[in-house]
A = this chain, B = another copy of it.
Amino acid sequence: MNLPIETPAVLVDLDIARRNVRAFQAYADRHGIRVRPHIKTHKLPQMAELQLETGAIGITCQKVSEAEAMVDGSARIKDVLITYNILGEAKLARLARLNERVTLSVVADNAAVIDGLAEYFSGARKPLAVLVECNTGADRCGVATPDEAAALARRIAEAPGLRFGGLMTYPPVGGAARVQSFMSEARRLIEADGLQVPIVTSGGTPSMMQAAEAPVATEYRPGTYIYNDRSLVARGVATWDDCALTVLATVVSVPAPHRAIIDAGSKVLTSDLLGLAGYGHVLGRDDIHIDQLSEEHGRLVSDGPIGLKVGEQLRVVPNHACVVTNMVDAIHIIEAGEPKTEWSVVARGRVL
- Give residues of chain A (305-348) contacting chain B, Cβ–Cβ below 8 Å: 309-311, 322-323, 326-329
CA distance A259 to B272 in the complex (A): 22
Q: Is A268 an interface residue (CB 8 A)?
A: yes
A169 within 8 A of partner (CB): no
Assess the A62–B296 pair: CB atoms within 8 A.
yes
A85 within 8 A of B: yes
A203 at the interface (CB under 8 A from B): no
- Which residues of B sit under 8 angstroms from A328, Cβ to Cβ? 349, 351
CB of A10 to closest CB in B, whole Å: 10
Per-residue contact bits, chain A 132-154, to B (CB 8 Å; 1 contact, 0 not) = 00010001111110000000000
Give A84's nearest chain B residue, CB to CB: B296
B109, B329, B352: the one within 8 Å of A253 (CB): B109
Is A6 in contact with B91, judged by CB distance below 8 angstroms?
yes
A173: min CB distance to chain B, Å: 13
Does A304 make an interface contact (CB < 8 A)?
no
- Give the contact-size bracket for chain A: 35 or more
A309 closest partner in B (C-beta): B112
User: What CA separation (Å) do A62 and B63 show in the bound complex?
Assistant: 32
Q: How far is the CA of A140 from the CA of B298 in the complex (A)?
A: 9
- The reply to whether A85 and B253 form a contact with Cβ atoms under 8 Å apart is yes
A273 CB-CB contact with B under 8 Å: yes
Q: Could you tell me if B299 and A327 are in contact, using CB atoms closer than 8 angstroms?
A: no
Q: Does A297 contact B (CB under 8 A)?
A: yes
- A319's nearest neighbour on chain B, judged by CB, is B271
A218 near B: Cβ within 8 Å? no
Contact between B326 and A267 (Cβ–Cβ < 8 Å)?
yes
Residues of chain B within 8 A (CB-CB) of A144 are 255-256
Looking at the assembled complex, report how far the CB atom of A155 sits from the nearest CB atom of chain B, in whole angstroms: 14
Q: Closest B-chain residue to A138, C-beta based?
A: B294
**What residues of B have a CB within 8 angstroms of the CB of A297 in the complex?**
140-141
Contact of A110 among B254, B263, B295, B296 (CB under 8 A): B254
Is residue A266 contacting chain B, with contact meaning CB distance below 8 A? yes
CB distance from A346 to the nearest CB of B (A): 13
B323 touches A255 (CB 8 A): no
Query: Residue A252 at the B interface, CB < 8 A?
Result: yes
Q: Which of A268-295 contact B (CB under 8 A)?
A: 268, 270-273, 292, 294-295
Within 1-30 of A, Cβ neighbours of B (below 8 Å) are at 6-8
Query: Which of these, B271, B292, B310, contacts A273 with CB under 8 Å?
Result: B271
B310 near A110 with CB under 8 A, answer yes
Which positions in A face B, CB cutoff 8 Å? 6-8, 40, 62-63, 84-85, 87-88, 90-91, 109-110, 112-113, 116, 135, 139-144, 250, 252-256, 259, 261, 263-264, 266-268, 270-273, 292, 294-297, 299, 309-311, 322-323, 326-329, 349, 351-352
Pairs of residues from A and B, 6 with the lowest C-beta to C-beta distance, nearest first: A112-B310, A85-B252, A271-B271, A141-B253, A62-B296, A271-B272
* Apart from the given pairs A87-B311, A139-B299, A327-B349, 7 other A-B contacts in the complex at a CB distance below 8 Å: A8-B352, A110-B255, A113-B252, A140-B292, A140-B294, A144-B256, A267-B326
